[in-house]
């Protein structure tokens, strides 16, 4: 007799996935502390948070259709709340043009995109077919999100610098992908499991790049002039690295 059943293992990996994903969702807190301290969100991007909000909302809808997917409901419910707070803080300290841009993103993704998925799935599909449709959409979105770190990896190779790709973040994102892969595997949900295979591979690739370039000398070492935009650029890159990956549960 097996020590742990598939149901028990799914619960364990789902719980660990919730904990790690929650920590990853909190990764931008220092960025928003900076925004609050500066009383301005200029120089920071809202797009990653809008995409993260859309992805979490879509996965939340999928979990409700699937029924019984409490682990997906909890983390994506929390994720929607956190991303909403981030977007509100961003808008409070954003100039008028940026506020309008954020509102447009929310209308495009969460009103237009999510609304279209819900309308089509509810009117044109029924039962298991409805779940499969939304599951495939979640899977495709997560695959696209996981492919985004190419830009960060390309920057590391080009600059021979890992300052834009911290090892800790890559490590926890890899752990996150592992937990959600096994959760999906043990509950036979391949819409959840499959994208996280790619997430795991990208995470490993990022950690390998980190060790390859962590001691590499760059042209920046020859430049003694302080660049006032360097901290902002680094914050933007860390935002991108985090948000393009964290939403794939």
Strands (E), 34-90: none
Categorize the per-residue pLDDT at 59 as very low, low, confident or very high, splitting at 50, 70 and 90. very high
- The answer to whether residue 79 scores a pLDDT higher than 60 is yes
Categorize the per-residue pLDDT at 217 as very low, low, confident or very high, splitting at 50, 70 and 90. low
- The answer to whether residue 45 scores a pLDDT higher than 70 is yes
Q: Take residue 53 and report the two structure tokens written for it.
A: 């909000």
* CA–CA dist 213, 162 (Å, integer): 6
pTM: 0.81
Least confident of 76-85, 168-177, 225-234: 225-234
Categorize the per-residue pLDDT at 245 as very low, low, confident or very high, splitting at 50, 70 and 90. very low
Neighbouring C-beta atoms of residue 107, cutoff 10 Å: 12
| Percent of the chain residues past pLDDT 70, beyond the cut | 85
Backbone angles phi, psi at 94, to 5 degrees: -100, 150
* CA–CA dist 75, 111 (Å, integer): 21
Q: Contact 43/93 with Cβ under 8 angstroms?
A: no
Q: What region does 245 belong to: left with phi over 0, alpha with psi -120 to 50, or beta?
A: alpha
SS3 196: helix
* CA–CA dist 150, 241 (Å, integer): 10
Q: What was the pLDDT predicted at 151?
A: 75
Q: Computed from CA positions of residues 35, 40, 45, 46, in that sequence, does the dihedral angle turn out positive or negative?
A: positive
Q: Which of 6, 5, 8, 101 is nearest to 46 (CA)?
A: 101
Categorize the per-residue pLDDT at 176 as very low, low, confident or very high, splitting at 50, 70 and 90. very high
* CA–CA dist 223, 3 (Å, integer): 59
């Amino acid at each position: 007799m097996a020590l742990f059943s598939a149901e028990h293992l799914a619960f364990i990996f789902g719980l660990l996935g919730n904990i790690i994903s929650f920590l990853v969702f909190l990764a931008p807190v220092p960025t928003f502390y900076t925004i609050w301290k500066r009383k301005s969100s200029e120089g920071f991007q809202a797009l990653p948070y809008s995409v993260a909000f859309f992805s979490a909302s879509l996965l939340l809808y999928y979990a409700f259709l699937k029924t019984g997917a409490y682990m997906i409901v909890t983390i994506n419910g929390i994720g929607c709340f956190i991303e909403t707070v981030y977007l509100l803080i961003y808008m409070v300290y954003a100039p008028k043009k940026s506020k309008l841009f954020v509102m447009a993103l929310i209308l495009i993704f969460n009103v237009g995109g999510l609304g279209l998925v819900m309308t089509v799935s509810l009117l044109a599909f029924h039962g298991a077919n409805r779940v499969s449709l939304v599951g495939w959409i979640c899977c495709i979105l997560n695959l696209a999100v996981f492919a985004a770190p190419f830009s960060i990896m390309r920057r590391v190779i080009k600059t021979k610098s890992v300052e834009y790709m911290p090892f800790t973040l890559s490590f926890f994102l890899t752990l996150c992908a592992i937990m959600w892969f096994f959760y999906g595997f043990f509950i036979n949900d391949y819409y959840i499991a499959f994208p996280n295979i790619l997430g795991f591979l990208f995470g490993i690739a990022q950690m390998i790049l980190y060790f390859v370039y962590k001691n590499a000398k760059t042209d920046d070492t020859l430049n003694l002039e302080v660049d006032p935009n360097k901290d902002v650029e680094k914050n933007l890159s860390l935002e991108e690295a985090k948000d393009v990956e964290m939403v794939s549960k």
